[in-house]
Amino acid sequence: MPKPRNILFIMFDQLRQDYLSCYGHPHLHTPNIDRLASRGVRFTRAYIQSPICGSSRMSTYTGRYVHSHGASWNGIPLKVGEMTLGDHLRKLGMGAWLVGKTHMRADAEGMERLGLEPDSLIGARVAECGFDVFERDDGMLPEGPDGSYDPDGARRYNDYLREAGYDSDNPWHDFANSALDAEGNVLSGWFLKNAVHPANIDERDSETPYLTRRGMEFIEQAQAPWLCHLSYIKPHWPYIVPAPYHEMYGPNHVPPPVRSQAEYDTAHPVLRAFMDTKIGRSFSKPEVRNAVIPAYMGLIKQCDDQMGALFDWLERTGRMQDTMIVLTSDHGDFLGDHWMGEKTFFHDTSTRVPLIIYDPSEEADATRGMVCDALVESIDLAPTFVEVAGGDVPGHILEGESLLPILHGQATDTRRDFVICEYDYSGSPIAKLLNTSVRDAVMFMVADRDWKLIHCEGGHRPILFDLRNDPQELVDLGDSADHAGIIAAMYDKLFAWARRPAQRTTRSEAQLIEMRGKSGRRGIVLGVYDENDTDLELTIRYRGRKARDWRSVKGG
């Protein structure tokens, strides 16, 4: 079996780790994804770098922490100059193609400053986070009183729907993400109550099958070697799914929320603000969970079925032999756990994601079906891909580490002893509620296998969870005097991380080591008193030279 030539990098959006049967869901059977896990390595401690789509993805696509690339919230552009997966892979002869979502916001100002035209090859790649675009589909055409959050986010998919006969100015909303009542009224998927209805769309035309087909179309015409980022919008909200998936699960499949009254009553003020948002209050209600979670499960079931179709097709076409398949998510979804909805906090519910890597190469035969609890971060994918493409990992730019040693059975863990996750809520309504300054509306999570510490800027005490004895993260020990030593040790890790030289990206470690002493050999002579006190070789160019007296120069 040859080394993988190509990489199929599948990302789901807002897919919780524990909502796959291979990760232990009791009701939701995902045999196709499970099958991939049985042929690859399934990571149980894969953490994302930020619990929000855009920032998590920018970390994955740059291989760098949010603190390093700065795109710390949805809509904050990734600044021009940041290197991406595409930059690294194309240098190695591998294309980097997008089919689906990135949540990339281009740095239009920076591009203009550097004269990069958005329609030039380089400009387009900069604007698309380093990918060449087969299809960009951010899966959103919301409409509000001030216009749309992302008018182009579902443009091609909307065109597809209209061509297929779904007649509307916004078929993404009216068909794919809404149900219909008997009178022909659109029941918007934005209203959680409507999650129980089937989306008013032929299942084959809904977003997940559409993107699967687009992925196959890409692969059929692609020139190897390629990385294809097949990036699904689902199971991200709006929570609504077409038949038959809308009725596969019901309230009886909804697990009780992971939460406690004490957790709410004693919550750290910042965490409490997240609980007390409209979202938190809503997802704490049984009627919301009972409506939404079955739809969420249906969306995942549909994803799994699509994975079945995709993997079968890859198998039939021989591509399973030479294609590495990575399947992951950009973050989870609280779904009412810990009195929250959405994803924007640091419990494992949101920050630990599924990660399955299938490597077709012989070297990986020893690890097929392995479950690995290594401390992994999503920034590890970029270096993994660079190695698959045959390159050396540029450790001065990419901050993660390649997972190939684990995939090939040469290692059982990464070299790190902690993971980092960050959340910047300075642009979110919660900062307004809490009246938090932009500088202070920032949080960091540092976790190892035993402990998770969350630091909120603004003079707050930390939050601490004992992951070993309280894996559900229900008891915050952040003000426990007994844990002062643990807290200090976790802060030390965060401090060491914060000091890392993340911006020294223009010289590699090897180049820096090579620089040592180089200036001396290029004529910089320091601390040398006279011609006799040092190495002849270094100063030979300054000896035996002759010159005229300057007073004779000006005359002629």
Between CA 384 and CA 364 the distance in angstroms is 14
Least distance between its own copies and beta carbon 548 (Å): 7
| Residue 78: HSE in the Cβ half-sphere, 13 Å Cα cutoff | 30
Residue 423 CB, shortest distance to its own copies, in Å, is 12
> At closest approach, how far in Å is the CB of 175 from its own copies?
6
Cβ–Cβ under 8 Å, residues 223 and 436: no
- In the bound state with its own copies, the residue whose beta carbon lies nearer, of 228 and 442, is 442
Structure tokens at 122: 């380089």
Please give the structure tokens belonging to residue 448.
């190892």
Q: Are 231 and 11 in contact (CB under 8 A)?
A: yes
Q: Which CB, 230 or 421, lies closer to its own copies? A: 421
Q: How far apart are the first and last CA of the chain?
A: 78
> Shortest gap between Cβ of 1 and its own copies (angstroms)?
35
**Nearest CB to its own copies, comparing residues 33 and 187:** 187
**Shortest distance (Å) from residue 187 CB to its own copies:** 9
CB burial of residue 307 (10 Å; 0-12, 13-18, 19+): buried
Interstrand relation of 442-447 and 198-199 (parallel, antiparallel or unpaired)? unpaired
Edge-to-edge strand list for the sheet holding 451-456: 419-424, 442-447, 451-456, 463-466
CB of residue 63 to its own copies, shortest distance in Å: 15
With respect to its own copies, which residue has the nearer C-beta, 12 or 283?
Answer: 283
Least gap, CB of 87 to its own copies (angstroms):
6
Three-state secondary structure call for residue 14: coil
Q: How far apart are CA 264 and CA 198, in angstroms?
A: 34
List CB contacts of 190: < 8 A, sequence separation 6 or more. Answer: 142, 177, 238
Shortest Å distance, C-beta 140 to its own copies: 8
C-alpha 511: how far from its chain's center? 30
Q: Would you say 279 or 325 has its CB closer to its own copies?
A: 279
For its own copies, the closer of residues 279 and 403 by Cβ is 279
Angle between the 207-221 and 155-163 helix axes, to the nearest 10 degrees? 100
CB closer to its own copies out of 481 and 524: 524
In terms of CB distance, is 209 or 354 closer to its own copies?
Answer: 209
